[in-house]
C-alpha cells in the first residue's frame, strides 16, 4: 500500500473555504472546547436537538480556524463509496475519483458528517481508523492507505432525542469522539440569536422564544420535539418582511411542527396568547 505525499494544506479545497464569518452566539464554552479538540487532533461529536445550531457552529469554527469545510449530509442510501470514492469510466478507460471524505483527509479539511445516524452502520465504520491514533483511511478498492493530513478533523452530529433503535450510534463509534452537548440556549441568548438572524426587534424575538419554550414542554405523541431555534428565525424573517406575526407563526412554526389538527389548534392558541 502506498502513502502519497501530502498536498499543501487546503490548496485543492479552496472552494470549500468559508469566505465570511458565520455569525454564532455561544451558548456555553463550545468555541473554546471545539478549538481545543481541533488542536489536539481529536474527532468531535456534536449532540443536540434539530435546529439548535450544530451546523452553524461547525461553519463558524471552520472560518475561525481557517480550514476548508467539507459537509456531507448523511442519508440511509449512502454507502462507503459515497464517502471515500469509486472508479469511474470515461472515454480513456477507468479512473479513480476521490470522495468528499478522502479529499478532506488528503488535504487537511474539516469533514462534517451531518446527522451521521442516518447513514447505514456498515458505512460509518469506514471512519473508525480516522478516529484513533492511527488517523488513516484505507481504501479497499484502490489498495491505497492514506495518512490523514495534520490539519484534518472529523466532526459528526446527531440528535440524541429523536432516534429509532435501528438508527442509533453504536458505542464502538460514540466512544471514539469527544462530545459537545448543544442543548437549547437560555431564553435571553436565544432571543438575541433570533433578533439578529431574523432581523426583528428584541421584543418580537422574545415572544417567539416564549412560544418555543411552551412547545418544548408539551407532552403530546404528535409532537416528538418542540420548535427549534431555526424555526423561530424563519418566523422572524417572515415578520421582518411584513407578514403578520400570527401568520408567520402559523407557517413558520406551527404547521411544520405537526399535522395533528388538535395540536395545531393548541399551538395557534399559544401563539395568539403571546402576540395577542
- Is the domain of 173 the same as that of 193? no
- Is the domain of 166 the same as that of 191? no
The pLDDT value recorded for residue 6 is 41
DSSP 8-state assignment for residue 161: T
Number of folded domains that form the chain:
2
CA 2 to chain centre: 33
Confirm whether 3 is domain-assigned.
no
- Is the domain of 130 the same as that of 146? yes
Around Cβ 152, how many Cβ atoms within 10 Å? 26
Side-chain half-sphere exposure of 58, counting CA atoms within 13 A: 25
Residues 6+ away with beta carbon under 8 Å from 114: 54, 55, 71, 72, 73, 74, 157
- Is the domain of 207 the same as that of 265? yes
- Is the domain of 164 the same as that of 210? no
Measured CA to CA, the distance from residue 116 to residue 147 in angstroms comes to 23
- The CATH number of the domain holding residue 98 is 3.40.50.300
- Is the domain of 253 the same as that of 145? no
Instruction: Tell me the per-residue pLDDT of 227-263, one tens digit each, with 9 for 90 and over.
Output: 999 999 999 999 999 999 999 999 999 999 999 999 9
Measured CA to CA, the distance from residue 94 to residue 63 in angstroms comes to 37
- Is the domain of 50 the same as that of 102? yes
The pLDDT value recorded for residue 120 is 84
- Is the domain of 127 the same as that of 204? no
Q: Which residues of the chain have pLDDT under 50?
A: 1-10, 165
Residues 6+ away with beta carbon under 8 Å from 189: 25, 27
- Picking from 119, 147, 181, the residue at the C-terminal end of a domain is 181
User: 154 with 44: CB under 8 angstroms?
Assistant: yes
b or e along 54-90 (b: 16 or more beta carbons within 10 Å of the residue's beta carbon)?
bbbbbbbbbbbbebbbbbbebeeebebebbbbbeeee
Could you tell me the pTM of the whole model? 0.89
Around Cβ 104, how many Cβ atoms within 10 Å? 31
- Is the domain of 87 the same as that of 149? yes
Host domain of residue 254: 187-275
- Is the domain of 244 the same as that of 142? no
Amino acid at each position: 500500500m502506498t502513502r502519497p505525499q501530502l498536498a499543501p494544506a487546503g490548496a485543492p479545497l479552496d472552494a470549500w473555504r468559508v469566505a465570511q464569518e458565520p455569525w454564532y452566539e455561544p451558548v456555553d464554552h463550545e468555541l473554546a472546547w471545539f478549538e481545543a479538540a481541533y488542536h489536539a487532533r481529536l474527532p468531535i461529536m456534536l449532540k443536540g436537538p434539530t435546529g439548535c445550531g450544530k451546523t452553524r457552529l461547525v461553519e463558524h469554527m471552520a472560518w475561525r480556524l481557517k480550514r476548508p469545510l467539507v459537509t456531507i449530509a448523511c442519508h440511509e442510501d449512502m454507502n462507503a463509496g459515497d464517502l471515500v470514492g469509486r472508479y469511474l469510466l470515461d472515454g480513456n478507460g477507468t479512473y479513480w475519483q476521490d470522495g468528499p471524505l478522502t479529499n478532506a483527509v488528503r488535504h487537511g479539511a474539516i469533514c462534517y458528517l451531518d446527522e451521521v445516524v442516518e447513514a447505514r452502520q456498515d458505512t460509518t465504520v469506514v471512519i473508525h481508523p480516522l478516529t484513533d491514533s492511527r488517523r488513516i483511511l484505507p481504501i479497499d478498492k484502490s489498495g491505497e492507505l492514506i495518512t490523514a493530513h495534520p490539519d484534518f478533523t472529523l466532526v459528526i452530529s446527531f440528535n440524541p432525542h429523536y432516534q429509532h433503535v435501528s438508527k442509533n450510534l453504536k458505542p464502538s463509534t460514540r466512544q471514539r469522539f469527544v462530545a459537545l452537548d448543544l442543548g437549547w440556549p437560555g431564553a435571553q441568548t436565544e432571543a438575541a440569536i433570533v433578533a439578529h438572524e431574523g432581523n426583528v426587534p428584541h421584543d418580537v424575538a422574545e415572544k417567539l422564544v416564549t412560544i418555543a419554550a411552551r412547545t418544548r414542554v408539551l407532552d403530546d405523541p404528535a409532537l416528538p420535539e418542540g420548535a427549534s431555534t431555526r424555526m423561530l428565525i424563519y418566523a422572524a424573517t417572515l415578520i421582518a418582511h411584513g407578514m403578520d406575526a400570527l401568520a408567520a407563526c402559523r407557517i413558520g412554526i406551527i404547521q411544520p411542527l405537526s399535522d395533528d389538527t388538535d395540536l395545531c389548534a393548541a399551538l395557534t392558541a399559544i401563539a395568539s396568547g403571546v402576540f395577542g
